[in-house]
Structure 1
Amino acid sequence: MKRRTFMAGGAAGVAGAAVAAPAIAQTMPEVSWRCASSFPKSLDALYGPLDTMTKQIAEATDGRFKIQCFAAGEIVGAFQTLDAVSAGTIEMCQSPGYYFVGKDPVLALMADVPFIMNVRQRNAWLYQGGGQQLVNDYVKKYNVHTVPGGNTGTQMGGWFRKEVRTLEDLKGLKFRIAGLAGQVVAKLGVVPQQIPGGDTYSSLERGVIDAAEWVGPYDDEKLAFVRVAPYYYYPGFWEGAPTVHYWIGTEKWNALPKSYQQIFNNAAAANNLDMTAIYDARNPAALRRLVAAGAQLRAFSPEILDAAYKAANEIYDDLSKSNADFKRIYEHLRAFRNEEYLWWQVAEYSFDTMMLRLRQRS
C-alpha cells in the first residue's frame, strides 16, 4: 500500500470515529437509577436476582445504565416501595403486587391470589396469554410500568406453634400472611397479620403471632422458624406461583432508549427463570435439614382446604361485584387457568404422578 493511500484511509477512519462517537453517546446515554427491594439482603434467592439483573444491565451497556440496589428499610419500608416509585422518590422497586392489597386488591392479581395456578401457567399467562399487557394497562394509574422479575414456585403453608387439624383450630389464630390470602383465612376465623419478613421471627418468638408463612424451605431455614414453631404445613394454597415484579416510574421507563428497555426486559426475564430454578434446586436439601432439625411436616386437612377454597371464591365474587377492574382481570386470569388445567391433567399431572409412583422403585 502506498503511504499516501494509507494516510488517507487513516484520516477517513479518524473522521468516521469523530462522527460516530457522538451518535453512540446519544443512543447509549448515562443513566443512574435507585431500586428499593421489599426483601432483606439475607434472603439471597429473593433479593439476589435483583443484584444479578442490575449487574447484567450494567455489563450489557458498558456501564452506562447503572441501578443501585437497596434492601427493605434502607430507603423505604417493604410495603412503601410502590408509593416511593409512584411519587418519583426512586426510579424503581422490586416487590410482589400482593404487598399492596390494602391499597388496591387488583394489584394482588398480578402476583398471586389463592387457588389460581402454578409457576409455568402463571408465566404463560403473563408472557403469552396477554396477562402482562392487562397488568401494565391497569397500573398506569399509579404512574408505573412493570416487568416480571421472579417467581418462587409453589410455597409452603407456614409454621405453626400448634397443630391445626380442623377449622375450629384456626379460630383466633394470629397468622402472619400477605395479600388476599389474609382475607380468605379471616373468613375461617384467623386473625391475619401483615408483617415484613425481617420482623417475622421475633414476632413468633415473642408470641405476638401464633403462625407465619414466608416462602419455602430454603428461605424458611435462614429465618430459623423451626426453633419457635415446629409444625410445618403444606401446601401454601394462596401462593401457587407468586410473581415478583419490577416497578418502574412511567416517565423514567419511557425516557430509556429502546435498546435499554430491551436489555432490561431480557435481563428481567432471565432472572424470572433463575429465581424459580434457585428455589427448585435448593428447597429439597433445605427441607431435609429442617426435618432433621425438628420440623414436623403436616398437610392441611381436606376440611380446611375445602373451606378456604369456598371462602376465596366468595371473596372473588364480592370483589367482582364492587370492582369492575378486578372482575375484568380476574375473569381473564381464571379462564386462562381453566384452559391450562385441561392440558395439565392430560400430560403434566399424569407424568408427575407416574414419576412419583415409579421413582420408589429406583
Structure 2
Amino acid sequence: MKRLLTGAAVAGLLLCGYTISASAATLKVLTSWNKNVWPTYVVLDNFIKNVKKLGGDKIKIRISGPEVVPGFQQLQPVKAGVFDILFTHGVYHMGSKGLAAIMDAMNSDPVGKRTSGVWDHLDKFYQKTHGLKLLAISPNSTKGYHIFLKKPLSSKGDWKGRKIRGTQTYHGVIRLFGGEPVVMSGSQVYSALEKGVVDGAAWPAAGMLSMKHFEVAKYKVRPTFGTSTLPFLMNLKSYKKLTKEKQNILLQAGYLTELEMPWIGDQVQAEEDAALAKKGVKITRLPADQVSKMRKAFSESIWALGEKCCGADAKKLRELSEKSGLSW
C-alpha cells in the first residue's frame, strides 16, 4: 500500500509545474468492450475519471466501442489515426505483434513493472512496431482469470473430455486438465453453453454476472490464475501533437489507473462473488497439488505465444520480469 500511495503522490507532484492551456483537446477512444462488460470496462471508466481529476476540462474523451469496430480489428484504425486511443487486450491483436498479451504472465504489481524496465520496454516496442505510445498497462484486479463449468470438476479434480471455450492464451490450462479448447468470440459463449456446444469457458475472474453466464453455468473453478492486464495505446502522431501538459495528464492518469485498479477490481470481484452465490453459483476447487501446475501452464503458454509473436522482445520482457520477481 505504501508503494501505491507514494506513486499517487508522485503523480500529483508531476502535474504541479504545468500552466493552464488555452483550449481543450478532444480525443477519440476506441474500446474493445462496452459497459455491459463492467469488470473490464471499469478500467477505462477509472482512467477517464483520472483524466478529469488531473486535467479538469483540458482533455475531453469521446468513446466508441466494438459496435463501431470489432475488437479483433481495432489496432489498425488507431494506428491510422482514425481514433486516438485504444483500450484493449494484447491478445486481440496477437497476430499483429501483440506483445502486450504476455503481460498476463506477470503479477499485478504496477510499480514493479515500471522500476524493472518492463513498462519502458513495452512502450518502446509499441512506438517502434506500431507507431503507438503506451499510456498505461493496467491490471483489472489481482484475481486474473478462471474457468467456469456447467458441471463441477470430476472426482479426479479435472475436466477431462470436456470442451472449454478459450482464446489461445488459455489453451495451456485447458489442456492441462484434459479439456479440448474451443475458440469463439465472447458474445457466443452464452448460447454455446446453453446449447451444449461447450461445457465451460475460460474468462476473466469477474464477468459471469454482467454477461449472465450464471444462467447457463453454475460452477466456477477456484483458485484463479494469471493477471488480466489491459493496455491504453495512443496514436504516436496524435500524442506528439498534444502540449507537454496534456501529455503529462494522460500519462499520470494512466499511472494512477494502474495503481488503483488492483483494489477497485478486487472490490468489483467481491461484489460479484456475493451476488453469484445468491444466484446459486458454487465453487468447485482444484486439488491443492495442481494449483502451481495450473499457474505455470498458463504463464508458460503465454511466454511461448509471446516468443512466437515477437521473438527477442518477448524474451527480453521475460528476462526483466523474472529478474524482478514479477512472473508467476
Q: What TM-score do the two structures reach when normalised by structure 1?
A: 0.72
Equivalences for residues 217-296 of structure 1 within 5 A = 217=206, 219-237=207-225, 239=226, 241-296=227-282
Change in CA separation of 1:149 and 1:332 when aligned onto 2, cut-off 3 Å: closer
Equivalences for residues 293-304 of structure 1 within 5 A = 293-301=279-287, 302-303=289-290
Superposed displacement of residue 246, structure 1: 0.7
2:182 paired with 1:200:
no
Superposed displacement of residue 319, structure 1: 6.2
Which amino acid counterpart does residue 127 of structure 1 have in structure 2?
Answer: R
- Residue 9 of structure 1 is matched in structure 2 by none
Aligned length: 305
Change in CA separation of 1:28 and 1:245 when aligned onto 2, cut-off 3 Å: farther
In 2, distance between residues paired with 1:285 and 1:88? 38
In 2, distance between residues paired with 1:204 and 1:281? 27
- Residue 84 of structure 2 is matched in structure 1 by 91
In 2, distance between residues paired with 1:213 and 1:297? 15
* 1:203-247 C-alpha deviation (Å, 9 max, x unpaired): 322323221132234x3222222221112102232x2x2221111
Superposed displacement of residue 309, structure 1: 2.7
Q: Find the residue that maps to 1:309 and give its secondary structure.
A: helix
Superposed displacement of residue 133, structure 1: 0.3
Which amino acid counterpart does residue 32 of structure 1 have in structure 2?
Answer: T
2:104 paired with 1:112:
yes
Equivalent pair of 2:159/2:179 in contact (CA under 8 Å): no
Q: Which of 21, 26, 42 lines up with 1:32 in the alignment?
A: 26
Q: Find the residue that maps to 1:180 and give its secondary structure.
A: helix
Q: What TM-score do the two structures reach when normalised by structure 2?
A: 0.79
Equivalent pair of 1:156/1:235 in contact (CA under 8 Å): no
Equivalent pair of 1:147/1:246 in contact (CA under 8 Å): yes
* Bigger shift: residues 128-137 or 295-304: 295-304
List runs of 5+ in structure 2 lacking aligned partners: 1-18
List runs of 5+ in structure 1 lacking aligned partners: 1-23, 342-362
In 2, distance between residues paired with 1:277 and 1:311? 23
2:301 paired with 1:309:
no
- Residue 325 of structure 1 is matched in structure 2 by 313
Give 1 or 2 for the bigger CA radius of gyration. Answer: 1
Equivalent pair of 1:150/1:275 in contact (CA under 8 Å): yes
Equivalent pair of 2:43/2:257 in contact (CA under 8 Å): yes
Equivalent pair of 1:101/1:180 in contact (CA under 8 Å): no
Equivalent pair of 1:155/1:235 in contact (CA under 8 Å): no
Equivalent pair of 1:184/1:312 in contact (CA under 8 Å): no
Which amino acid counterpart does residue 104 of structure 1 have in structure 2?
Answer: K
Identity among equivalent positions (%) equals 20
Q: Find the residue that maps to 2:148 and give its secondary structure.
A: strand
In 2, distance between residues paired with 1:182 and 1:82? 24
2:111 paired with 1:124:
yes
Equivalent pair of 1:95/1:246 in contact (CA under 8 Å): yes
Equivalent pair of 1:82/1:247 in contact (CA under 8 Å): no
Equivalent pair of 1:231/1:298 in contact (CA under 8 Å): yes
Change in CA separation of 1:286 and 1:257 when aligned onto 2, cut-off 3 Å: same
In 2, distance between residues paired with 1:318 and 1:293? 37
- Residue 47 of structure 2 is matched in structure 1 by 53
Which amino acid counterpart does residue 94 of structure 2 have in structure 1?
Answer: V
- Residue 160 of structure 2 is matched in structure 1 by 170
